Amino acid sequence: MKKSLNLQWLLLLLVFFPASSHAASLSLFPSFGEYSVGERLPIGIYVQSTDNVLNAVSGVVSFPKDKLEVASVSKQKSIITFWVQGPSFLNNAGTISFEGIVFNPGYRGERGEIVTINFKVKKEGEATLKFSSGSALANDGLGTNILKDLGVAKFSFIAPLSPIPEVTDVPEIINENVPTDVPLESNINSYEQPTQKKINFEDLLGTELLKFVLLILLITLLILLVLLALKKSYNKAPNIHSIFEALKVTMKKEIIVFEKMRSIPEIVAEEKKVLNTLSKEIDKTEELVKREIEGINSTPK
């Protein structure tokens, strides 16, 4: 009789005070945080049932429609195998609804993802997301609702961060003294080592040779003028003879200079040709002077 009474009391305790380990819960993650206006806020809806196997879950989440709006819904990682409803959302009402089934053997675990809601922050202020209703049915053949806890999430929304201003209309600095089509390293080298002007010795030699040729022509012209004057002055033979001797000495010196000039290796063929021509002219002049001297000496005094 005493054992019968103890069994009855035990059954009453199990009926009216079920063990908390048999309970399930729905939660939101993240459940707090600070976000800026315009920022994305993904929130996952999760179920926890560590002791009992469940095979159905449903719920309705409410959110402040003036501060948040649903941009999209993701079911990629969901434990639900068959959706009875949704998940669906109404931005103008500020609600999200879902209802689904987990086929046998059901689900048991600490953090089973049901759905992820991607929100967009619309306005500054405080916002609270919570479950308006929910259920978690056990896979016990009776569909026992083992849901005990419904989670809440609270967030703070702040003004958007000021964007970094873009720098526009920057004046372009151009160095007019440096060519833009040459690499910078090349420019530096060219300015550190300025190009020196190369002296053209051939041009210089040609200039000096021209002066020398003009000088010889002037001397030759002077000799011819002297000869013309001598023809008119036969009565002054002794003085004329000494003058011609002096001219012969001068012409011999010029011939020596010509020979030295022709031996210079830098003189080109055209210049050698000019020197040879001048040498021949001087030789002719010398012969002419000799004849004139002989004519003067043969003239009766």
User: What pLDDT is attached to residue 203?
Assistant: 56
Instruction: Please give the average per-residue pLDDT across 12-29, as a whole number.
Output: 64
Q: For residue 7, is pLDDT > 50?
A: no
Nearest to 92 by CA among 60, 64, 58: 64
Residue-wise pLDDT tens digits, 239-297: 556 666 666 666 676 667 666 665 665 556 666 776 677 777 777 777 776 777 677 66
Nearest to 119 by CA among 74, 86, 78, 60: 74
Contact of 85 with 122, CB cutoff 8 Å: no
- Measured distance CA(134)–CA(150) in Å, rounded: 8
171 band by pLDDT with thresholds 50, 70 and 90: low
Q: For residue 62, is pLDDT > 80?
A: yes
Which amino acid does the sequence have at 51? D
- Measured distance CA(115)–CA(103) in Å, rounded: 17
Please count the residues of the chain. Answer: 301
User: What pLDDT is attached to residue 287?
Assistant: 76
